Amino acid sequence: MSSGLLDRVERVLERERVWSAYALADLDPPHTAHAHWLADEDAVVLSFAGFDPPVLFAVGDPEQASRLLAQVPDGRHMFTLMATHRALLEDRVRESHETIMWRMVLRPEAFDATLAGGAQALSADDLPQIMTLFGDIADRPDAFDAGQLADHAFYGVWYGRQLVAIAGTHVVSEARRVAAVGNVFTHPGHRGRGLATITTAAVVQELLRRPGMQTIVLNVARDNEPAVRCYQRLGFLPFCAYHEGVGQLGRASHSPQEQKVR
């Protein structure tokens, strides 16, 4: 990325830091290798190819964002879009499956560190147990990557030799002072015991130990009331709603008569 484009992208993302937390982290290795940026003076669009399909993100002035989104190629994309920017794609969406999500942000002064007791730090050595925990359960984390363990912010609860609950991160950028909590999962046979609270609290406690950490966010389905309450108890507040899901983008088709008129 040229220095001029980088400066423009950084400037726009920093204006809406909470919403742009993931994108800020994508400015740094190893994520930057998968990031394709489109930028105007007051808007940014990101297509992140580290997942299949690529993640589509937008921030900033709707008029400028509309011009940038028009440059996004047809095909399947994973939307991470506020309603304003999602609406700009309406005439191109051929089919989609989307959920309304909350972006939540931590108020550090409201965090209760006593909730973190009982969770143990996990490392790459625990990957086999993590994959066994996830198994083929329908609501297993869909954005977990073994490389995320390198951020050293994963915690779990064990039942004997069995890992039964986990929480971690999606991205951590100490250079950008942002982190996104994620991969929160409890085995169905051990739910209802507060293990998600314990593991997530341990992750937050770890992140808050890191010098200069400024913004900690997480995502949760808006209608997942038990999870929302869990995160609120930890000091997170809803920041904004957005659309998350997979959609197929195409170009508006016109009949020969319409094309003639145009």
The string of DSSP letters for the chain reads --HHHHHHHHHHHHHTTTTTHHHHHTTSTTGGGGEEEEE-SSEEEEEETTSSSPEEEEEE-HHHHHHHHTTSPSEEEEEEE-HHHHHTTGGGEEEEEEEEEEEEEE-GGG--GGGGTT-EE--GGGHHHHHHHHTT-TTS-SS--GGGGGGS--EEEEETTEEEEEEEEEEEETTTTEEEEEEEEE-GGGTTSSHHHHHHHHHHHHHHTSTT--EEEEEEETT-HHHHHHHHHTTEEEEEEEEEEEEEE-PPP--HHHHHH-
Q: Which two tokens stand for residue 8?
A: 């423009």
Backbone angles phi, psi at 169, to 5 degrees: -135, 160
Picking from 188, 192, 89, 212, the residue whose alpha carbon sits closest to that of residue 140 is 188
Predicted confidence at residue 257, as pLDDT, reads 44
**pLDDT in tens for each of the 262 residues of the chain?**
788 899 999 999 999 999 999 999 999 998 999 999 999 999 999 999 999 999 999 999 999 999 999 999 999 999 999 999 999 999 999 999 999 999 999 999 999 999 998 999 999 999 999 999 999 999 999 899 999 999 999 999 999 999 999 999 999 999 999 999 999 999 999 999 999 999 999 999 999 999 999 999 999 999 999 999 999 999 999 999 999 999 999 986 544 444 333 3
Predicted confidence at residue 260, as pLDDT, reads 37
Say how far apart CA 62 and CA 18 lie, in whole Å.
Answer: 18
Phi/psi zone of residue 60: left (φ > 0), alpha (ψ -120 to 50 degrees), beta? left
Say how far apart CA 84 and CA 242 lie, in whole Å.
Answer: 9
Predicted confidence at residue 252, as pLDDT, reads 64
Query: Top-level CATH class of 108-234?
Result: alpha beta
Name the residue ranges covered by the structural domains of the chain: 3-101+244-261, 108-234
Q: Which two tokens stand for residue 107?
A: 């108020």
Backbone angles phi, psi at 79, to 5 degrees: -75, 135
pTM: predicted TM-score of the whole model, two decimal places: 0.92
Residue carrying structure tokens 């050293």: 152
Contact (Cβ atoms closer than 8 angstroms) between residue 47 and residue 36:
yes
